[in-house]
Structure 1
C-alpha cells in the first residue's frame, strides 16, 4: 500500500501510537484498518486512551544558555514515573529546546523538532507508550536578557522552578559577589514566593482582594466589627514586605531586605544592579488531582467489594 503523510497522521490520531510505529504498521500490513489492528496487537495503540487521565505529578526543568533561560513543566500521573531517568531526560531536553527555539507558546512548542528529528508531540506519544502513563508538556516559560547581567535559575526537588533576570550597567558576571547574589535571589523567590518586584507594582485590584481576605479572617477570629477596618489598614501597610521581592526580608538574613542586599552587592561589584523580571512555576499548580482510595482500588482489582 502506498501511503501519504496524511495516512500516517490519521493513524496516529486514531490510535495514539508514535509516528515511527504508524509508518511501520502501514509498511507491514498495507491497509489502514489492519494497521490499527497491528498496533493494538503490539500494545502500541494505548497512548490515546491515556490522554483522558489526570497528570498532576511530574517535574519542572530549567536550562539557561547564555542570555536565554527556560522553564518547562512536564507532567505525568505518578511520582514514581516523575523520578524515571528517561522521563527526566526528556524534560531537560525539552527545556533545552525551549531555549533554542525561544517558544513559550505550548501549542507552537509541541510542533518544534527535537534533536532526534521528531516533534515534541511525537516524542510525548513515544514516551507515553513506553512508560505507560499520560505525559503532558503543560507550561513553557522563556526569559531573555539584553545587555549586561545574568539569568539565574533554581529548581527545588523538581517541584518548584525559578528564573530571575538580574541586569547591571557593567559586565560583572565574573564577580563572585554578583554570582552569589543571583543564586540567592532565585532561592529567595522559591522560598518566599513574591508576587511583585516592588511596592509600585501592586495594583488596586490586588489590594482590594487582600483587604477582603483580611477582613474575613478577622471576622472569623471574632474581632469587633468596629476594629476591623483599622486592622485591615495596618495589614495593607505591611503588604509590600510580604509580597514584593525588594521589600522582603532576606531568608538567609532576616535583618536585611532584598533591596539592601542588591544595593550592597552593587557596591562590592562596582556596578548598578537591579532585578527586572522573575518567573516561578509550582508543579501541578491549578490541576485538580484525582483522589484515590487505596483500599477501594485494591477491591476493584481483586473483584472483592
Structure 2
C-alpha cells in the first residue's frame, strides 16, 4: 500500500498453510486491507495493528478470525513495516513471496524502483559497511583468519589476505557494495554516486524467512 504522494508505503507478511489459500481472493483482499490499515494507522506494534479498525468497523484480528473460520485454515499476520522517504520511494513485489521498499533522496523515481528490484533479488543485510555490527565484523574476521592460517601462509600475508577477503564479504552483504543486478560491472555505491542519489533506508520481506519446521510439522519462529 502506498500513500497518495507515493512517499510512504506499508508492507506486510501474512502467512497461510497452502498455496491454494494464498491464491484465494478473500485471502488476497484481507492482505491488501491489512496493508492499507498499516499505512493509514502506522501502529507501533503487531498487536496494535491487530486492533486497528477496518472501514467496515471490525478489527483486523476480528476479520482474520472470521476468515480462518470460513476457509478452515490458519492465517497469521506475521510482520509489517511502514517506510517513509524524503523524496523517492521504490517498491517491488516478486510474485507473492518477496517484497522490497527503498527510500531514496535525489536521483529519479525509476532508479528507486530498480533499487527495490535489486534488494528483492540480492537480499542485502545492511545499507553500508558502517552499519555492519561490530560483532558480525569480528566473527567474519575470525573465520577468515582461521581459513587463511590453515593455508600455511606467513603472518603478514595472512593479514593482507584477511583484509581483502573481509572487504569482499562485506561487499556481498551490504547494499552499497553489491554489484547492480542490471549491470554487474557497477556497484550500487557507484550507481548512486553517478545519479547523485542516496539510499536512506530499505526493507525486504520474504515469506517464511526465519521460520523453521519442527519435527511435529508446526511452524516455529526463529528470533535473531
TM-score norm. by structure 2 comes to: 0.85
Structure 2 regions of 5+ residues with no counterpart? 218-224
Choose 1 or 2 for highest CA Rg. 1
Aligned equivalent of 1:264: 194
Q: Which among 59, 77, 95 is matched to residue 119 of structure 1?
A: 59
CA apart distance, 1:199: 2.1
Aligned equivalent of 1:137: 77
1:185 aligns with 2:112: no
Q: Is the 8 A contact 1:113 1:120 kept in 2?
A: yes
Query: Larger % of helix: which?
Result: 1
Task: Quickly say closer, same or farther: Cα 1:187–1:213, change in 2 above 3 A.
Answer: farther
Query: Larger % of strand: which?
Result: 2
1:279 aligns with 2:209: no
Q: Is the 8 A contact 1:71 1:142 kept in 2?
A: yes
Task: Quickly say closer, same or farther: Cα 1:213–1:122, change in 2 above 3 A.
Answer: farther
Q: Which among 41, 59, 64 is matched to residue 101 of structure 1?
A: 41
Structure 1, 190-199 or 203-212: larger mean CA deviation:
203-212
Q: Does the residue aligned with 2:108 lie in a helix, a strand or coil?
A: helix
Q: Does the residue aligned with 1:255 lie in a helix, a strand or coil?
A: strand
1:246 aligns with 2:184: no
TM-score norm. by structure 1 comes to: 0.63
Q: Does the residue aligned with 1:88 lie in a helix, a strand or coil?
A: helix
Aligned equivalent of 2:221: none
Tell me how far apart the structure 1 counterparts of residues 74 and 141 of structure 2 sit (CA, whole Å). Answer: 41
Aligned equivalent of 1:163: 101
Tell me how far apart the structure 2 counterparts of residues 240 and 160 of structure 1 sit (CA, whole Å). Answer: 23
CA apart distance, 1:145: 2.9
1:207 aligns with 2:137: yes
Query: Bigger relative contact order, structure 1 or 2, given CA contacts below 8 A and separation 6+?
Result: 2
Q: Deviations over 1:199-245 (max 9, x none)?
A: 222232111222344467x49xx943657954443311223321221
Q: Is the 8 A contact 1:194 1:244 kept in 2?
A: yes
Tell me how far apart the structure 1 counterparts of residues 96 and 142 of structure 2 sit (CA, whole Å). Answer: 34
Tell me how far apart the structure 1 counterparts of residues 213 and 94 of structure 2 sit (CA, whole Å). Answer: 21
